[in-house]
Structure 1
Amino acid sequence: MSIFVLLTGFPGVGKLTIATELRSLFPAKIIDNHWFNNPILRLLDDDGATPLPKGIWEYTGRVRQAVLDAIVAYCPHPANFIFTHAGIDGDERSARTFQQISDAARQCQALLVPIRLLCDEEELARRVSTPARRERLKSIDAQASREKCRQARVFDPGHRFTLDLDVTAKSAEASAAAICHHISRVAGGDFGSP
C-alpha cells in the first residue's frame, strides 16, 4: 500500500527537516512545498518580510497540481510520499491544497496520513529568523510569525488519521520517530479502515 504523509505547520516549524529525518525511517520521496513556491517566488523581488502580491499563490497551486498529476500518472505502485504544507485553518487556499493532495492519494489508492506540527510562539519566532531560511526563499519575519501564532491555527483537515504533534521541545529525530510510529499504527489497522 502506498502512503502519503502530509506534514502541515506554520513556517519555521521544521517541516522539511522533519521530512528528511522521517525519510531515513520510512522510505518515501519528499515533495516540499517550496518546490511549488520557489519557481514563482524567484520571479519577484521578495525580501522575506514584505507581503507577497495578491494572487501569487494561484500560480503555485497550478505547479502543485502539475506535480500531483505526474505522481498519479507515472509513479509505480506502491510509492510513498512526504508532502509539506504551511496550511492555516479556515483558509480556502489551504483547504484546496489539502484537497489536491487528498485527491492524488485517492487516485493512487494510497493511505493519507496528515500530521499537524505544532510549536510554541517564541520558539517558532526563533526558528523563523534563521538566516539560512532566506537562501531558500522562506519567510524570516519573526514578528509576522508571532502574529500568525496569535491569530491563526495550523490547518486541521478533520481527517480521521490526523496526528497533532507538538515539536516545540522535540528534536527532528524524535519527531520523525513519533510520526513513523503513528504511520505504522494507521497502516497496521489500529485506526480502522480508511
Structure 2
Amino acid sequence: MSENHRRHQTHDVDLPGGHLILLVGPPAVGKLSVATEIGRRTGAIVVDNHLVNNAVFVPMGLGRGLGVELADTDALRGRVLDVVLESTHLAPPGLSHVFTIWLPDGPGNAAHVDRLRALAGRRGARFVPVWLTASPEALLARIDAPGRAERSKLTDPEVLRDLLELPVLPPPEDAITLDLSTMGPEDAAAQVLHALT
C-alpha cells in the first residue's frame, strides 16, 4: 500500500464495529454538511437522500415545470431505495454509513426508521438516530445557498414554509437531538461522534 493511499485512510475518529447513523431533519438544516463532516472524520460512507431521489428526479425532469409531481416519483424512488439498502447490507462488515433524510410525521416514515434500524441489526452495526432542527429563520436563510440547485435540492422559500407547517416525525427515545440554528456542521459532527464514545 502506498504512503499516499495510507494517508487518505487515516481518520480522526475510529468507529469500531460499524455504525449506521441516520440524520433526520428539514430541508436546509445541514444534513449533508454534517454527514460529510462525519464521513471525513471517520471514513463512514455518506448515503445522502439525494443519492436515491436524484436518480429519479433528474431523468424525470422534476422541478422543471413540466407537470411532473413528487408523487409521480414515489414508486421509482422506492425501487432505488431498495437497491441502496441491499447494497448497504452487502457492504463489508465493520464499514459505517451515514444516511440523511427529511421525515414528516406518518406511519410510512416511522417504518423507514424501523427499516434502517433493522438493517443495522442485520449488519451487526450500531444504529444511531440523530434528529437535526433549526429555527425557521435559519432554514429560510439557507434555502437558496449556492450549490443547492445543482444537487436538485429545494430552493424555493415558499415551498419550505409550507413544508415547515407539517408535523415532524418524533425522534425515537434513543435519538440524539441537535439544534443547528447557530451550530456549524463541524461542531454538530463532533457532538454526534462524542455521543458515540
Same fold, judged at TM 0.5 (above): yes
Task: State the percentage of identical aligned residues.
Answer: 27
Is the partner of 1:84 in helix, strand or coil?
A: strand
Report 1:81-120 matches (<5 A).
81-89=97-105, 91-120=106-135
Instruction: Tell me, yes or no, if the aligned pair for 2:27 and 2:160 is still in contact at 8 Å.
Output: yes
Query: What CA distance in whole angstroms lies between the structure 2 residues aligned with 1:93 and 1:138?
Result: 22
The alpha carbon displacement at 1:76 in A equals: 1.6
Q: Which residue among 58, 74, 82 is the counterpart of 1:57? A: 74
Say if 2:21 and 2:130, in contact at 8 Å, map to a contact too. Answer: yes
Structure 2 counterpart of 1:72, from 61, 79, 89: 89
User: 8 Å contact 1:114–1:161 — kept in the other structure?
Assistant: yes
Offset, 1:69: 1.0
The aligned residue for residue 181 of structure 1 is 194
Change beyond 3 A, Cα 1:157–1:64: farther
TM-score by length of 2: 0.83
Residue 172 of structure 1 deviates from its aligned partner by 0.9
Greater displacement, 49-58 / 92-101 = 49-58
* Cα distance per residue 1:126-164 (max 9 Å; x no partner): 2112242111111111122123223322x3342x42011
Q: Distance in 2 between matches of 1:48 and 1:161?
A: 40
- Unaligned 5+ residue runs, structure 1? 185-194
Which residue of 2 is the match for residue 136 of structure 1? Answer: 151
Structure number with larger C-alpha Rg: 2
Tell me the amino acid that sits aligned with residue 180 of structure 1.
L
- Give the structure-1-normalised TM-score: 0.84
Q: CA deviation at 1:48?
A: 7.3
Partner of 1:98, secondary structure, is helix
Question: Is the contact made by 2:132 and 2:178 (CA closer than 8 Å) also made in structure 1?
Answer: yes
Deviations 1:44-82 (CA, angstroms, capped at 9, x unpaired): 232379883424223212211111112212x22111110
Residue 43 of structure 1 aligns to a residue whose secondary structure is: helix
Q: Could you tell me whether the CA contact under 8 Å between 1:133 and 1:139 is conserved in 2?
A: yes
Query: Which of 16, 29, 52 pairs up with 1:36?
Result: 52
Letter of the aligned partner of 1:60 in structure 2?
R
Q: Does 1:22 align with 2:21?
A: no
Tell whether the 8 Å contact from 1:27 to 1:80 is kept in structure 2 after alignment: yes
Per the alignment, in what secondary structure is the counterpart of residue 7 of structure 1? Answer: strand
> What secondary structure does 2:177 align onto?
strand
Q: CA RMSD in A?
A: 2.0
d(CA) in 2 for partners of 1:178 and 1:106? 23
**Distance in 2 between the 1:86 and 1:48 partners?**
22
